[in-house]
Amino acid sequence: MRFITHDLHVAAKIRNRIALMSRGEIVEMKSDADLFTQPEHPYTKALLAAVPGRARS
């Protein structure tokens, strides 16, 4: 099943594996837990840093 959203928290509640796209290409695909705790791609890191209320490391 594909579920498209701009809200990563909604995606994590609906699916346990998330693919993140940038400019029409999948740049990262991980479990929701790994995506939030171990982002690798610069776009993923920037997107997570922009989530309101998310603690910065």
Residue 28 burial by CB count (10 A; 0-12/13-18/19+): exposed, middle or buried? buried
Give the model confidence (pLDDT) of 10-21 as tens digits: 888 888 899 999
CA–CA separation, 57 vs 13, rounded Å? Answer: 23
Domain count, the chain: 1
Does residue 1 lie in a domain region? no
Yes or no: say if 42 and 48 are a contact pair by the CB < 8 Å rule: no
Does residue 26 lie in a domain region? yes
* 22 half-sphere exposure, CB direction, 13 A CA radius: 10
Does residue 22 lie in a domain region? yes
Does residue 3 lie in a domain region? no
Name the residue range of residue 41's domain. 8-49
- Report the predicted TM-score, pTM, of the whole model to 2 decimal places: 0.77
Does residue 14 lie in a domain region? yes
Does residue 12 lie in a domain region? yes
- DSSP 8-state code for residue 44: H
What integer pLDDT is reported at residue 54 of this predicted model? 67
CA–CA separation, 33 vs 24, rounded Å? Answer: 23
Does residue 28 lie in a domain region? yes
